[in-house]
Structure 1
């Protein structure tokens, strides 16, 4: 059983290997292959695990403020899957879940009649799943620019809160030579985008050529029809931290497990053992 592993935003392969070590030890007949992001991450010390690796650079898979970066990450991962695969499943955490879901959705929409063994993955494990992003051409965006009183400005507010929040400005205890936090550059990226609304009514951020928005089950329906395991914190109030991704998946093929660690990674011997069991069960259903 060959599994592709995608770490969270602001992480790296070393951290993700540590996070998954406990349940991987229960799955010694599985092979886990880790793919590290290449976009330097801007945030500081927010997690138990990032604190354990103060000297290593942190990465994401794309810049969420640049449509071309999102599309390039999808292209690169699909090429890697073609070259290094086949993979039976994907194991992804936080920001990595969005990219994994984007790959699954993109392939399904392009190859609607492909057989299970022709798809990138036969099953997916999403830990603290994030709603996947969708890059669309400017023609699918309403022409008028929207002012800050409009509901669509929530998209701009959201990215500002995410990328300029306190944890983003917090320097890790032992600052790495790779730490590249630059709030001015982030603000410049944000300023290059406008809050708009897509033709089907969802908030988006547009640079005039392309726009970034999110998939949403209320508008898109079910887009992922392979067995999925969703490990998430039920106490999360933001639906984009797990619930929306779950709704994009075929309900009859969904398994859920809830932990108590918020946005951080689940942990504890009993919990990790149970997650290993659920991963095996999801793989067996594929």
Structure 2
């Protein structure tokens, strides 16, 4: 089986390989080729990343506009056409925006053709809000406000000084904006004319400022084909044994479900 791996903004394929090594090591029973791809734009490191990993650092686009995301999706589709097919996509943060955008555009424009990949594993990701609104999804004002506030909070909680002074205690989520809403209440903040139809896994932590974004991303996927897992941490992939086994099992599920849907 073959899995395309899309890293977060200001990291790289090599960094994502390292970040996922612990749970991938729990998949020895399956023959899986993980293809870690670099974004096309070299730039600065994501908050806190340069403390642990040397450059270069890449992103999938330079400006967060609909046109730039469309161009990134076009590049991704070209890469898949050349190097695929892929049984699944494993994505983190900005990589989730890219992968979910590719699936949304496919569903909107060419639903009669096979999707870019058969299943998707989203880690600490959020939906592409501007893309959703362009495609006719209704995003509530509260969801838009929370999206902006969570990005600002993430930059503060993930930066170098927070890591050096607070360590793992820096992750405090976004309680003032999330308002104690349940996951189902958060999902209802986005009204969907259609949903991503392939099997999906959504991995997020309630201490992540982008926690609600992860729940919102699950809202635009088919309820009967999605699985969620709260790792209870921040904007990261915890390397504890229980989390590693849980994520590995979710990857197995996604690959198996993807094969059923062919």
TM-score range, shorter chain: 0.7 to 0.9
User: 1:56, 1:245 → 2: CA distance?
Assistant: 30
Distance 1:238 1:34, change over 3 A: closer
Aligned CA RMSD, in angstroms, stands at 3.5
Number of paired residues?
Answer: 229
- Report if the CA contact (8 A) 1:131-1:244 is conserved: yes
Distance 1:162 1:81, change over 3 A: farther
- Report if the CA contact (8 A) 1:22-1:273 is conserved: no
- Report if the CA contact (8 A) 1:98-1:131 is conserved: yes
Distance 1:90 1:113, change over 3 A: same
- Report if the CA contact (8 A) 2:4-2:89 is conserved: yes
Give the TM-score normalised by structure 2.
0.74
User: 2:121, 2:131 → 1: CA distance?
Assistant: 23
Larger-Rg structure = 1
Report the CA distance between 1:2 and its aligned residue.
Answer: 0.5
Structure with the bigger percentage of helix: 2
Gaps (5+ residues) in structure 2?
Answer: 165-187
- Report if the CA contact (8 A) 1:222-1:247 is conserved: no
User: 2:101, 2:221 → 1: CA distance?
Assistant: 12
Gaps (5+ residues) in structure 1?
Answer: 141-149, 174-215
**What is the SS of the residue equivalent to 1:10?**
coil
- Output aligned runs, 1:94-173, within 5 Å: 94-114=93-113, 118-135=114-131, 154=145, 158=149, 161=152
Deviations 1:97-122 (A, max 9, x none): 111100111111111233xxx22111
Deviations 1:186-234 (A, max 9, x none): xxxxxxxxxxxxxxxxxxxxxxxxxxxxxx9733344211111111113
Aligned twin of 2:218? 246
Distance 1:4 1:157, change over 3 A: closer
User: 1:61, 1:249 → 2: CA distance?
Assistant: 22
Distance 1:217 1:107, change over 3 A: farther
Give the TM-score normalised by structure 1.
0.68
- Report if the CA contact (8 A) 1:217-1:248 is conserved: no
- Output aligned runs, 1:222-237, within 5 Å: 222-236=194-208
- Output aligned runs, 1:1-286, within 5 Å: 1-28=1-28, 29-43=31-45, 45-47=47-49, 50-53=50-53, 55-114=54-113, 118-135=114-131, 154=145, 158=149, 161=152, 218-236=190-208, 238=210, 240-286=212-258
User: 1:169, 1:22 → 2: CA distance?
Assistant: 23
Report the CA distance between 1:63 and its aligned residue.
Answer: 2.5
